[in-house]
Structure 1
């Protein structure tokens, strides 16, 4: 059977309502919809309708919802607004930040365990229950006696450590003490890096939230001037009719 394909409407149909302010109440002006441009392409005659249309209100995104989503998990607000590329960037940054934070914390703890064990083994120090200042002093002086003797010369008000086993240390060699200082400095460096990683994570949450908010705003502005609906119809003869509606 010969099938005739006709392009029924290849033009532009503008539908809208024109209201005169003197004849219609103000409430009708407020409810008037923007003009709609309708493009229609049809093949064959007669059809079975398959309709899939969303209004502009259905397509709008909430800026504050997008903000909250990205504030909790960076990238999700961008994904909500359709900004998939930026969503991936913020999500990758989030994963990288957490991997860095966890890694630096573990490295800092490992180095701390190493220098404490070294002080106990090579200097005979009792490392239990000591504060950070004690471990700093152990790295700069060969023994408790040297610290109490030399430290008072430079600062008479400096704290002295009592002559008992709890605060005893005496390094076996300068090499061991230098190794101790290197390990302790590494631990401090890793702790600082973990703080930077935490700051990066917090900044990523805030920046993603702000970006998601404005992405939703831009998305909604695009809806107001873009396509507002799609009609897809299956015709009885096997053809298709596609209708695109745009508002501006």
Structure 2
């Protein structure tokens, strides 16, 4: 858990705007904060990093969508799959059970009459063999991994923006940024010093 504690003491109205503006610009777009502070080289590198991170995020999201489309097309063509694509339980069941009858028996045995089952006539899915089911599961898992990695890149973008904003605040005017370890996380403290 990251707690952010901003303790900013403003010396005068004019001087206080520069650090806060640098902080906000860097929070929105890190390259803008660097450029505002006159750090042209850092601004160029920051812009490259920002573009790279967003390209990675969009690329992973696109790849995940393609793999999901491939998995559903494969399931429809090979297993005669039908049903709601947004139903994650169905999505998982198709990867673990050879057919809908096998799934319905298992879930009814486990959960009783309140179990959620799928129609058997016509079958919601019926894999011809284990190899085909495992191929579908591989496509499905590939899509889920790509979505997870896209979320991780998104968190990296958020962290990058926050780090850049704290750095800009430090560079803009006599502030110190400290990380203090705590039992359940890390606390970031930004302190503005009197001069």
Going from structure 1 to structure 2, the CA distance change for 1:129 and 1:110 (only over 3 Å counts) comes to closer
Matching residue of 2:181: none
CA RMSD after TM alignment: 2.4
Out of 36, 44, 57, the position equivalent to 1:88 is 44
Matching residue of 2:145: 189
For 2:48 and 2:80, the matched residues in 1 are separated by 47
Question: Is 1:101 equivalent to 2:53 in the alignment?
Answer: no
Q: How many pairs were matched up?
A: 161
Matched residue SS, 2:173: helix
Out of 88, 91, 96, the position equivalent to 1:135 is 91
Structure richer in helix, relative to its length: 2
Confirm or deny: 8 A CA contact 1:141 1:147 kept in the other structure.
Answer: yes
Confirm or deny: 8 A CA contact 2:61 2:150 kept in the other structure.
Answer: yes
Q: TM-score, normalised by structure 1?
A: 0.59
The 5 A counterparts of 1:1-248 are 62-128=18-84, 130-156=86-112, 157-165=114-122, 168-217=124-173
Matched residue SS, 1:75: helix
Instruction: List gaps (5 residues or longer) in structure 1.
Output: 1-56, 219-248
* More displaced 10-residue stretch of structure 1: 77-86 or 196-205: 77-86
Query: 1:129 offset after TM fit, Å?
Result: 5.1
Matched residue SS, 2:117: coil
Query: 1:130 offset after TM fit, Å?
Result: 5.0
Matched residue SS, 1:62: helix
Which structure has the larger Rg? 1
Q: Deviations over 1:38-86 (max 9, x none)?
A: xxxxxxxxxxxxxxxxxxx9xx981111112112211221222122333
